């Protein structure tokens, strides 16, 4: 019991417990509401996207907050996961009737494909620093979008057909298009559910929080804080940079697959620069390196535009004002004072523990 | 000190903005509660803000005019509500769910194609009947027995355009400029090319643009010019089309231009020299300059209320509401019916009825949800649409 208390009082322990606590309590409350029918359909419709955005924000926090590199192409990885996941679920529709199994497969394949994309982008890109890296990741996001825009994938009795730029294959009468170039995907089976989103968040939190608190995590943070110092003590900066980047990409791929299976139609244009920025906003407003902050920011900022629907055209205005207010608060002396107070209290707690222990 | 001041200001602005909107919502709320139970609740999602706002607002306004007219006649009462979807599939699903919470019994689907595809699956599972004014892609109605269209499906427009060009012998060497990241444009382009081949039309140049490159068309126009195209087919909305016309003119290139229904509205583009559009041909179901009583009355009302000329989106939405009114009356439906009952009744009515509206006479729907009406060929002469 004492051990747990001490763990809860330490910074990393508190963050971990808080992150899991928020997610589990929120899940229990919302699931109870869903089962008793006490939730409106608009809120119900938002559950899966919120789950996907939380995973996106947490994974981007690994790159931006923990690794300290600005990535502006996170939505690109999301789209890789989304479209590879769709190809998997659609092509396996006849062989595997169970929707849950197909969703899991789609998420795994989505994660692998996004991780591969992460390696391809990461190897050359992570040699760059700061602004340059940001610009290249931005370009990558656009390239992925444009590639999927000219990608044609169809399925018929003889298997899958691929072509680039225009549809160069003809399908037999049983065939159907999976990805139809700029028209994207239509008629996706909706396999995602709130429960699957919740489990995926737990997996994400478990892996990412453990990574952060592990030796590798400390090495990644050392690279962020001072590359030269990290180099000098024998940490392979490229290796750890790539590791954080690829793990972050893989989770974005998972989120993409989850997101895509929640809509019957999806186009590459959805995963554009604006989506990347939106996720970056979640991370920045939640606090760089702060995982539970990302969870709350992603949830709030996804809910907010819907909650503001009642005020019609003022919606966008208020949304923007709230963003500005939150940013001001993040930098205000008010917050600093609050943080100081909290730190003082914690110090006292730890001291008390130490005394009790002695 | 400075920071806390800015915080305070931000807070004040927020309170002000909230207070400012408070009045608005209160009034609509009271309107809702007084009418519910006695009126049919018809809802639709539309891009009321963002790039496609011009279409969304046209639909919302056209539908409102029709609803007001029908309500004024007594008889069937209609309560109309539009939610903003920003032309975004995710937002469209949210907006649709919002309308469901409001108690929507009949849907107007969505204004643009992709959002409508996204919500039509939900519409199908929720058994709410939908009649979309302008979402023209095939996937919108495919496999859903309760989603119907008021506009032509994209392929029909492509085929009809190719037929029209070959029948009227408008051109021998055809160039196409199309937007390849757009469902509407791609859908029309594909069918046009297929039909053109079948009719023996020669396509000499096919060039594309995307959202990101919709400002400069010199490459596409030069390609068409160097290959000697005498007719350029423009399956796109009017904003890029107006740029193409302007740039072709400054190049001194004057082929014939042929558009589809998205071209309707080109004469209202701000800062566009309408003389450049002289001789442009387009296929559209609606002509704001038509002299029949219905169109004249509608255009007058629309102009009075919103001080602009309605485009075909507004006309399609107007027709949607009237088609609903006709079907509801014929089915003897009452506002206390559930959406499932209304859905079955509407499917039965729409597959069997004939409707006369602004955008066509003797319209009928088949069981796939596609409408059958004949497109009108128009040509722009002296700054006005004239039937060909």
Given this model, what pLDDT does residue B292 score?
A: 81
Asked if residue A345 belongs to a domain, the reply is no
CATH of the domain at A287: 1.10.3470
pLDDT in tens, B66-97: 888 888 888 888 888 888 888 888 888 888 98
Contact A314 B21 (CB under 8 A): yes
Q: Tens of pLDDT along B102-122?
A: 888 888 888 888 888 888 888
Q: What is the mean pLDDT of residues B310-329?
A: 86
**Domain match, B144 and B182 both:** no
DSSP helix/strand/coil, B209: strand
**Helix pair angle (B238-251, B218-226), 10° resolution:** 60
Question: For the ranges A302-311, B57-66, B178-187, B265-274, which has the lowest average pLDDT?
Answer: B265-274
- Residue B132 makes CB contacts below 8 A (sequence gap 6+) with B44, B108, B109, B110, B111, B116, B140, B147, B148, B149, B150, B151, B320
For residue B263, tell me if it sits in a domain: yes
* In-domain check, residue A324: no
Q: What is the pLDDT of residue B9?
A: 47
Q: Span B181-187, mean pLDDT? A: 80
The confidence score (pLDDT) of residue B33 equals 38
User: Is the CB of residue B386 less than 8 Å away from at least one CB of chain A?
Assistant: no
User: What DSSP string runs through B220-286?
Assistant: HHHHHHHTT-SEEEE-S-HHHHHHHHHHHHHHT---EEEE-GGGTTGGG-TT--GGGGTT-EEEES-
Find the CATH number of the domain harbouring B213: 3.40.50.2300
pLDDT number for residue A110: 93
The reply to whether A331 falls in a domain is: no
Asked whether residue A252 is domain-assigned, the answer is yes
Q: Please tell me the predicted confidence (pLDDT) of residue B2.
A: 46
Residues of A within 8 A of B100 (CB-CB) are 41-42
Hey, are the CB atoms on A187 and B121 less than 8 Å from each other?
Answer: yes
Contacts of B209 in chain A (CB under 8 A): none
Q: Do B17 and A324 touch (CB under 8 A)?
A: no
Q: Is B180 in contact with A181 (Cβ distance < 8 A)?
A: yes
Q: What pLDDT score does B337 carry? A: 83
Say if residue B165 is in the same domain as residue B263: yes
Question: CB–CB of B234/B263 below 8 Å?
Answer: yes
Confidence of residue B20 (pLDDT cuts 50, 70, 90): very low
In a domain, B260, yes or no: yes
Going through chain B in order, the beta strands assigned E by DSSP cover: 40-46, 78-84, 106-110, 129-132, 147-149, 173-179, 202-209, 231-234, 256-259, 281-284, 355-357, 360-365, 371-372, 376-381, 384-387
- The reply to whether B137 and B172 lie within a common domain is no
CA dist B258 and B233 (Å) reads: 5
Q: Structural domain of residue B244, as residue ranges?
A: 155-284
CB-CB contact of B351 with B371 (8 Å): no
Chain A residues with beta carbon closer than 8 angstroms to that of B88: 270
Residue B18 lies in a domain: no
Residue B331's CB: how many other CB atoms inside 10 A? 18
Alpha-carbon distances, residue A141 vs A79, B91, B230 (angstroms): 9, 22, 39
Residue B89 pLDDT: 85
Residue numbers in B near A182 (CB within 8 A): 180-183, 186, 210
Kindly report the nearest CA distance between residue A171 and chain B, in angstroms: 16
Same domain, B299 and B276: no
Residues B136 and B170 occupy one common structural domain: no
Q: Is residue B379 part of a domain?
A: no
pLDDT confidence band for B266 (50 / 70 / 90): confident
- CB-CB neighbors (< 8 A) of B24 in chain A: 311-312, 314
DSSP-derived 3-state class of residue B336: coil
Which residue from B17, B95, B181 is facing A314, i.e. has the nearest CB? B17
B36 touches chain A (CB under 8 A): no
Chain A residue at shortest CA distance from B2? A332
* Each residue's pLDDT expressed in tens, for chain A with a length of 358 residues: 566 666 766 777 777 888 888 888 888 888 888 888 778 888 888 889 999 999 999 999 999 988 888 888 899 999 999 999 998 888 887 787 788 888 899 999 999 999 999 999 888 887 877 788 888 888 888 888 888 888 888 888 777 778 777 677 777 777 777 887 777 787 777 888 888 999 999 999 999 988 988 899 899 999 888 888 988 988 888 888 899 999 999 999 999 999 998 888 888 888 888 889 889 988 988 888 888 888 988 998 888 888 888 776 777 788 888 888 888 887 777 777 887 887 888 788 778 777 766 5
Number of structural domains in chain A = 1
Inter-chain CB proximity A333 and B183 less than 8 Å: no
The whole-number pLDDT of residue B313 equals 85
Q: How many CB pairs under 8 A join A and B?
A: 120
Query: DSSP letter string over A339-354?
Result: HHHHHHHHHHHHHHHH
What's the pLDDT at A1? 58
Interface of B with A in 4-33 (CB under 8 A): 4, 6-7, 10-11, 13-14, 17-18, 20-21, 24-25
A-proximal residues of B, 37-66, CB under 8 Å: 48-49
pLDDT for B30 equals 34
Asked if residue B355 and residue B341 are part of one domain, the reply reads yes
Q: Is A178 inside a domain boundary? A: yes
Best of B3, B119, B125, B235 to disrupt the A interface (most A CBs within 10 Å) is B3
β-sheet bridge partners, residue B256: B231
CB pair distance less than 8 Å for A186 and B6: no
State whether B168 and B145 are in the same domain.
no
Query: What is the pLDDT, as a whole number, of residue A256?
Result: 93
Q: What share of chain A is helix, strand, coil (3-state, %, to 5)?
A: 75, 5, 20
Helices A314-331 and A273-286, packing angle to 10 deg: 40
Tell me the pTM: 0.82
What is the C-alpha to C-alpha distance for residues B230 and B163, in angstroms, rounded to an integer? 17
Structural domain including A239 reads 2-311
Contacts of A313 in chain B (CB under 8 A): 48-49
B4 chain-A contacts, CB cut-off 8 A: 332-334
Q: Measured between CB atoms, does B94 come within 8 Å of chain A?
A: yes
pLDDT at residue number B29: 36
Pairing status of strand B106-110 against strand B129-132: parallel
- Beta-carbon separation of A306 and B98 below 8 A: yes
Q: Which residue has the tokens 């109309």?
A: B80
Q: Do the domain assignments include residue B22? A: no
CA distance A227 to A64: 15
Structure tokens at B53: 């706002």
Count of domains for chain B: 2
Q: Which residues face A185 on adjacent strands?
A: A266
Considering only CB atoms, which chain B residues are within 8 Å of A332?
3-4, 7
How far apart CA B85 and CA A264 sit, in angstroms, is 16
Q: How far is B121 from chain A (nearest CA, A)?
A: 7
Instruction: For chain B, positions 185-224, list CB contacts with chain A under 8 A.
Output: 186-187, 210-211
| Residue B223 structure tokens | 């390609």
> Cα–Cα distances in Å, from A282 out to A303, A313, A315, B239?
12, 23, 18, 34
Give the percent of chain B with pLDDT over 70. 90
| Residue B21, pLDDT above cutoff 50 | no
Q: Is residue A236 part of a domain?
A: yes
DSSP string, A229-276: HHHHTT--HHHHHHHHHHHHHHHHHHHHHHHHTTSS-B-GGGSSHHHH
* B336 lies within 8 A of chain A by CB: no
Sheet with B360-365, edge to edge strand ranges? B355-357, B360-365, B371-372
Q: From the CA of B215, how many Å to the nearest CA of chain A?
A: 18
User: H/E element holding A179?
Assistant: strand A176-180
**Of B259, B284, B309, which marks where a domain is finished?**
B284
Same structural domain for residues B142 and B41?
A: yes
- A121, exposed or middle or buried, with CB in 10 Å at 0-12, 13-18, 19+? buried
Q: Does B323 touch chain A (CB under 8 A)?
A: no
């Amino acid at each position: 019991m004492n051990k747990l208390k001490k763990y809860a009082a330490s910074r990393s322990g508190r963050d971990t417990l808080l992150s899991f606590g928020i997610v589990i309590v929120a899940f229990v409350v919302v699931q109870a509401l869903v089962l008793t029918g006490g939730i409106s359909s608009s809120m119900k419709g938002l559950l899966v996207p919120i789950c996907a955005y939380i995973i996106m924000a947490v994974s981007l926090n690994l790159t931006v907050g923990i690794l300290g590199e600005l990535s502006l192409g996170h939505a690109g990885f999301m789209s890789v996961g989304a479209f590879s996941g769709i190809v998997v679920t659609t092509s396996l529709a006849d062989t595997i009737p169970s929707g849950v199994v197909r969703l899991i497969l789609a998420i795994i394949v989505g994660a692998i494909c996004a991780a591969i994309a992460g390696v391809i982008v990461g190897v050359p890109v992570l040699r760059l620093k700061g602004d340059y890296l940001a610009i290249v990741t931005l370009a990558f996001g656009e390239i992925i979008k444009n590639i999927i825009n000219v990608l044609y994938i169809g399925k018929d009795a003889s298997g899958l057909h691929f072509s680039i730029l225009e549809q160069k294959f003809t399908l037999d009468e049983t065939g159907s298009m999976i990805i139809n170039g700029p028209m994207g995907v239509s008629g996706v089976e909706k396999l995602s559910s709130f429960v699957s989103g919740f489990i995926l968040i737990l997996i994400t939190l478990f892996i990412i929080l453990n990574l952060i608190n592990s030796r590798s995590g400390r090495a990644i943070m050392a690279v962020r804080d001072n590359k030269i110092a990290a180099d000098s003590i024998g940490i392979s900066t490229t290796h750890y940079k790539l590791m954080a980047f690829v793990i972050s990409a893989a989770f974005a791929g998972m989120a993409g697959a989850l997101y895509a299976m929640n809509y019957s139609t999806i186009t590459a244009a959805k995963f554009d620069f604006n989506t990347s920025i939106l996720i970056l906003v979640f991370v920045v407003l939640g606090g760089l390196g702060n995982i539970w902050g990302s969870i709350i920011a992603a949830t709030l900022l996804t809910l907010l535009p819907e909650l503001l629907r009642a005020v019609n055209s003022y919606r966008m205005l208020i949304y923007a004002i709230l963003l500005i207010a939150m940013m001001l608060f993040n930098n205000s002396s008010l917050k600093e004072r609050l943080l100081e107070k909290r730190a003082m209290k914690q110090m006292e707690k730890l001291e008390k523990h130490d005394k009790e222990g002695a | 000190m400075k920071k806390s001041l800015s915080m305070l200001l931000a807070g004040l602005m927020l309170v002000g903005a909230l207070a400012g909107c408070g009045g608005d919502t209160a009034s609509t709320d009271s309107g809702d509660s007084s009418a519910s139970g006695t009126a049919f609740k018809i809802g639709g999602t539309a891009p009321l803000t963002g790039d496609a706002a011009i279409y969304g607002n046209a639909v919302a306004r056209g539908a409102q005019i029709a609803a007001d007219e029908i309500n004024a006649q007594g008889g069937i009462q209609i309560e109309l509500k539009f939610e903003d979807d920003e032309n975004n599939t995710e937002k469209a699903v949210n907006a649709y769910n919002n309308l469901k919470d409001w108690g929507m019994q009949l849907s107007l689907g969505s204004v643009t194609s992709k959002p409508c595809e996204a919500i039509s699956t939900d519409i199908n599972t929720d058994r709410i009947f939908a009649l979309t004014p302008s979402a023209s892609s095939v996937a919108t109605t495919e496999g859903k027995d309760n989603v119907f269209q008021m506009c032509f499906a994209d392929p029909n427009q492509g085929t009809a355009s190719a037929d029209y060009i070959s029948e009227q012998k408008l051109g021998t060497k055809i160039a196409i400029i199309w937007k390849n990241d757009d469902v509407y444009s791609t859908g029309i382009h594909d069918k046009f090319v297929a039909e053109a081949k079948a009719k023996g039309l020669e396509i000499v140049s096919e060039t594309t643009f995307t959202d990101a490159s919709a400002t400069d068309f010199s490459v596409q126009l030069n390609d068409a010019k160097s290959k000697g195209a005498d007719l350029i087919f423009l399956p796109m909305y009017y904003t890029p089309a107006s740029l193409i016309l302007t740039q072709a003119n400054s190049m001194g290139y004057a082929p014939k231009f042929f558009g589809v229904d998205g071209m309707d509205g080109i004469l209202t583009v701000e800062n566009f020299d309408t003389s450049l559009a002289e001789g442009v041909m387009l296929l559209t179901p609606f002509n704001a300059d038509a002299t029949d009583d219905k169109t004249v009355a509608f255009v007058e009302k629309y102009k009075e209320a919103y001080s602009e000329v309605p485009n075909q989106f507004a006309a399609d939405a107007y027709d949607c509401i009237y088609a609903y009114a006709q079907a509801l009356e014929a089915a003897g439906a009452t506002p206390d019916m559930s959406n499932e009952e209304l859905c079955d009744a509407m499917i039965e009515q729409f597959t069997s009825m004939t409707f006369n509206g602004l955008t066509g006479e003797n319209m009928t729907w088949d069981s796939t949800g596609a409408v059958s009406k004949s497109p009108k060929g128009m040509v722009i002469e002296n700054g006005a649409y004239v039937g060909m």
